Amino acid sequence: MDHTRASRFWFGGIAAALGLWFVVLHAGQASPIRARQGFADLPGVRLWFTDSGGSGEPVVLLHPNTGTSEIWEPQIAALAKAGFRAIAFDRRGWGKSTADSATGAQPGHVAEDLDRLADFLSLTRFHLVGVAGGGFVALDYAAWRGERLRSLVVGASTGAVSDKAIQDVIARIEIPGIRALPAHYREVGPSYRAVDPDGTARWLEIHERAQQKGAPGQPLRSPNTFAKLATINVRTLVMPAGADLLAPPALMWIWAQHVKDAQWVVVPDAGHAVAWEQPEQFNAYLLQFLRGRSRLPKAKDVPRP
């Protein structure tokens, strides 16, 4: 499915979901849970979220630095159709989520905003998915609150790992001047840009209004290091993108070796915006993993790319 079709599918699917009531058993009574979008007033932030509703296992989606919760359009539709409860939110200072110094310290930590949102939505345990910059936060949260996670998925991300082995690779592969180029040249793969100009334009439109002007970035609760990753005791899938200029498989393989029994799969011919560019393939791997049906190799058993 190309992205134009994927977007139409999502808009139709989520619109239908927003009009449905889902029934769950609670204390012996049938209680409806409805899909919704809205704000959660949390310490230091008014956080915008989308919740597909339903009675399935919750899956929380963390967007990259170049997007908002909107980039998860194809995943929300696929997860809801598969019976999961899909939740995405705009990070503090991104999209519709606005910081509020009157209610809490700034800039705060994304992991703590996520934890409070989980409380707000009464999520006991949930799956966590992060791509690119969202992967930084996913690893940070998993090391801090792993007992709250059913599983962890990180795609197309350097992991913001500060160890020298990662930083040396980043220094070797960084194309001079790439950070000064328009974001879609460094983050959206050339094959996708070639075949789907409308999808590329939509991605760029989301990016250009993603981060609020002057909004400070939120630091991790603690630096992501190999030692920190080794403490993660959550079923994990690492999903690099084969044409990623920023976090290629060879880089992600290095830090994946430090996550206990992490599973590994590469999405071929996709750039850094892996979930947006290849929604069908990304979603297929994601759903197999969430259902516990994947037979993917462990990163430690895969030869170095």
In 3-state terms, what secondary structure has residue 175?
coil
Per-residue model confidence (pLDDT) at position 216: 83
Nearest CA to 154 out of 49, 289, 13 is that of: 289
CA atoms of 167 and 160, how far apart (whole Å): 9
Per-residue model confidence (pLDDT) at position 183: 95
CA angle 115, 120, 121 (to 5 degrees): 100
**For helices 73-81 and 279-290, angle between their N-to-C axes, nearest 10 degrees:** 40
Question: Global pTM?
Answer: 0.90
Domains in the chain, start-ordered, CATH in brackets?
A: 3-291 (3.40.50.1820)
Q: What is the pLDDT along the chain (305 residues), one digit of tens a residue?
A: 444 444 444 444 444 444 433 333 333 334 546 899 999 999 999 999 999 999 999 999 999 999 999 999 999 999 999 999 999 999 999 999 999 999 999 999 999 999 999 999 999 999 999 999 999 999 999 999 999 999 999 999 999 999 999 999 999 999 999 999 999 999 999 999 999 999 999 999 999 999 999 888 899 999 999 999 999 999 999 999 999 999 999 999 999 999 999 999 999 999 999 999 999 999 999 999 999 988 999 999 999 99
Locate 244 and state its tokens. 């990623």
Q: Rg of the chain's alpha carbons, rounded to an integer?
A: 18
Per-residue model confidence (pLDDT) at position 2: 47
Per-residue model confidence (pLDDT) at position 33: 66
